Amino acid sequence: MINAEFWRGKKVLVTGHTGFKGGWLSLWLNQLGAEVHGVALAPDTTPALFDLIRLETCMASSVLLDIRNAQALDAHIARIQPEIIMHLAAQPLVRCSYDAPVETFATNVMGTAHLLEACRGLTGLQAVLVVTTDKVYRNLEWDWPYRENDALGGADPYSASKSACEMVVESYRKSFLSPAGISVATARGGNVIGGGDWSADRLIPDAVRAAFAGQVLDIRAPDSVRPWQHVLVLCHAYLQLAAQMAEQPDPGAYAWNFGPLAPDCVSVRQVLAGLAQHGIAPEIRVTPAQGKPESRMLALDSSLARARLGWHPALDLPEALKLTAEWYLAALQSADMQALTLAQITAYQQRLS
């Protein structure tokens, strides 16, 4: 369940609000009655979720700021004086990290350090939730899900940067923030789908573009298995965890997996087959990647979140693919995407009641 009363009037800073997950989370927070502030780079895709859902009209403030700029970030956070921080700003793409490794480390590691350093001087801050990824784990390609106490690691720069980010968070939590009464944790989610993601080198956006341009979709690894989940499922997890962190400052767990149930950990090929059932069916061509290896198998064990938070995914993969296809088809028909996105949020909340 999501405690709407907790969020009403709460001053929340979302970093990365111009991105995919950050956009959905910020709109949901606004619907819950929170005072939402955003810090991020400008949207880097055209179209962009931020623009399509008119997110700026729903926020108390929306500021374009690079989290690698420590001085500017510190000054801005001091002006806002947030009660809750949801840190989603990141370089989020595995393949991009091969082309820009230093930028990836600078954003994902030092950007997080800058944020946590800025938190040290805040007096009303209750909780900081840092969103990382399922790819923080040292992937041994085994067939069972990873648990929060499994070893971290990462061969590609993205995974390595997010593993390092986890260590930065742990250090700041133990050394500075927990002693000051500020609750800090990380959230590790799976492969996120849903309307409004237009990033390159992501399966669903690439499939949408190919289908409606009449182009062939090149697939690198059709049999790779991932923990697929709708963006609403993860935003639900973030909202539920952050509220508990604020109300119970030392929950005894500081890293949390949020993954789908086992039947929803399926291959790329199966996801595309499911998407085709809802009208998005590009022609597919298998083109193995050259020089940028990716893992074959990855799944998360979310037993901790189910036991401690009572959290569970309220959408299975077929339902997630249906909602995703509906969103993109509506966007391509120039529908009111703020209204449609809010309707999907409301429908999801009704599933939780």
Does residue 202 lie within any of the structural domains?
no
Letter for the amino acid at 351?
Answer: R
Q: Quote the number of domains for the chain.
A: 1
- pLDDT confidence bin for 142, thresholds 50/70/90: confident
| C-alpha distances in Å from residue 49, one per residue of 198, 231, 327, 346 | 8, 13, 11, 18
pLDDT at 18 over 80: yes
Would 10 be classed as within a structural domain?
yes
Q: Could you tell me if residue 195 is inside a domain?
A: no
Residue entry with tokens 């182009």: 215
Of residues 166 and 1, more confidence is placed in 166
pTM: 0.96
CATH number of the domain that 132 lies in?
Answer: 3.40.50.720
Whether residue 180 lies inside any domain: the answer is yes
pLDDT of residue 296: 66
The sheet carrying 225-230 orders its strands as 191-193, 225-230, 265-267
In a domain, 284, yes or no: no
By DSSP bridging, strand 84-87 and strand 265-267 are: unpaired
- Averaged pLDDT, 85-98: 93
pLDDT digits (tens, 9 = 90+) for 153-170: 988 999 999 999 999 999
User: Quick one: pLDDT band at residue 292, thresholds 50, 70, 90?
Assistant: low
User: Which residues span the domain enclosing 76?
Assistant: 4-190+229-260+300-315+341-352
Predicted local confidence at residue 150, as pLDDT: 95
Residue 279 lies in a domain: no
pLDDT at 101 over 80: yes
Residue at 246 is within a domain: yes
d(CA 134, CA 190): 5
Question: Residue 294: what pLDDT?
Answer: 63
> Backbone phi, then psi, for 156, in 5-degree steps?
-80, 155
Write out the E strands in the chain.
11-15, 35-40, 61-64, 84-87, 127-131, 183-189, 191-193, 216-219, 225-230, 255-258, 265-267, 283-286
Contact 306, 234 (CB under 8 A): no
Q: Is residue 146 part of a domain?
A: yes
